[in-house]
Amino acid sequence: MSSIEASFQLDYPGFSLDVNLRLPEKGVTALFGHSGSGKTTVLRCFAGLNRAPKGRLVVEGEVWQDEGNGRAKGIFLPTHRRPLGLVFQEASLFPHLSVRQNLEYGMKRSGNKAGDGFEASVDLLGIRPLLERGPERLSGGERQRVAIARALLTRPRLLLMDEPLAALDLKRKLEILPYLEKLHDELDIPVLYVSHAPDEVARLADHLVLMEEGKVVASGPLMETLSRADLPSAFADDAGVVLEARVEGQEADGLTRLAIPGGRLLVSRVEAEPGKTLRCRIHARDVSLALTASTDSSILNTLPARVAAVVATDTPGHVLVQLELAEGVRLLARITERSRAALGIGPGLAVVAQVKAVALLA
């Protein structure tokens, strides 16, 4: 049973929010959508910073809000009474306090007087060398790591993160992403993560909620949801799948061999021991189709597949093809309508998927 049930309706001039969600009890749920889709508004409703007149929010059986639908109980817990941690784009550390004092202040505000979890949070985020520094001596990535540690030390039952990497340059993003992956692996509380960066979501999320114009257009496990061919056209440019791959070994010519359900992939060398599991992303635009396997192509990765669906896109002359590999794994291919017609591609046809590029995420 889902541990989080949420429904919010809000009307603003020129924008309406209407969402109904059931989210898993553990792992990272990403709210993904383009600017103005309503994802941050949803997160603020979770936090109690925006009050939806007909809202309902239940976290692990505890009602945080229940208002306005006849059966409603008139319950609305203000933000300070909700056991949650908040991390925004800006770290908002107190400039006159050291890192240690910032963390201690967060603990005191939440009633964590014993400092439960202090050592674990400091080590998890790798900030022990920073404890006596002032915020002015921290990089943007370091400030965000301190902000996350402070949020964890409030002993939250739900962690809310609103585009925590959006204000960072690429170097700082790459610095902090491994720590976010550690959070993903080690936290036993649900995380709601807002982002408009597809690769960030693909790297961190377990569950995906796609939003468009204030509504949820898809919600489900990350890999299953991304492989759908019927998503709105607004997501067509980012179409692609995320797969879990296991390192099989190293090739003599500098490539690494990965095993995926339904086949194998060769990628640029990865310094990882055999057996290690990685996430990889394959964009629909990097998959071409053939009716038979070719022996005179520079494309090394070819996978037998069967066409499951063909869907039109908003780009004139292009279609999105959903492919089924062995063991229920799916790929997406973006091809031209001319190619589709020339090859006779339609549901049920056996094809060869030619994967031109594989992006390793973690």
pLDDT bin (cut points 50, 70, 90) of residue 188 is: confident
Query: What percentage of the chain exceeds 90 in pLDDT?
Result: 67
Question: 299-355 pLDDT, tens per residue?
Answer: 999 999 999 999 988 888 999 999 999 888 999 999 999 999 999 999 999 999 999
pTM for the model stands at 0.89
Q: Which residues contact 138 (CB under 8 A, 6 or more apart)?
A: 93, 99, 130, 146
pLDDT of residue 261: 84
Q: What sign does the CA torsion over 330, 335, 337, 338 have?
A: negative
Question: 94-106 pLDDT, tens per residue?
Answer: 999 999 999 998 8
How many angstroms separate the CA atoms of 123 and 37, rounded?
36
Range from 186-190, 191-195, 232-236 that averages highest in pLDDT: 191-195
pLDDT bin (cut points 50, 70, 90) of residue 258 is: very high
Task: Give me the sheet containing 207-212, strands edge to edge.
Answer: 75-76, 62-66, 56-59, 4-12, 15-23, 215-221, 207-212, 28-32, 191-195, 158-162, 84-87
Structure tokens at 329: 């794994």
Over the chain, what is the mean pLDDT?
90
pLDDT of residue 107: 85
pLDDT of residue 236: 65
How many angstroms separate the CA atoms of 350 and 327, rounded?
15
| 86 closest CA partner among 186, 162, 142 | 162
pLDDT of residue 3: 81
pLDDT of residue 244: 92
How many angstroms separate the CA atoms of 290 and 302, rounded?
10
- The yes-or-no answer to whether 4-230 and 236-244+274-360 have a common fold is no
pLDDT of residue 235: 66
Structure tokens at 82: 């909700």
How many angstroms separate the CA atoms of 318 and 26, rounded?
38
Per-residue pLDDT, averaged over 288-306, amounts to 91
Question: 128-178 pLDDT, tens per residue?
Answer: 999 999 999 999 999 999 999 999 998 899 999 999 998 888 888 988 999
Per-residue pLDDT, averaged over 228-233, amounts to 76
Give me the residues paired with residue 63 across strands: 58
Sequence ranges of the domains in the chain? 4-230, 236-244+274-360
CA distances in angstroms from 74 to 45, 55, 64, listed in the order given: 16, 10, 10
Per-residue pLDDT, averaged over 227-251, amounts to 83
pLDDT bin (cut points 50, 70, 90) of residue 115 is: low
pLDDT of residue 295: 81
What is the second-level CATH architecture of the domain 236-244+274-360?
Beta Barrel (2.40)
Q: What's the CATH fold of domain 4-230? A: Rossmann fold (3.40.50)
Q: Which residues contact 71 (CB under 8 A, 6 or more apart)?
A: none
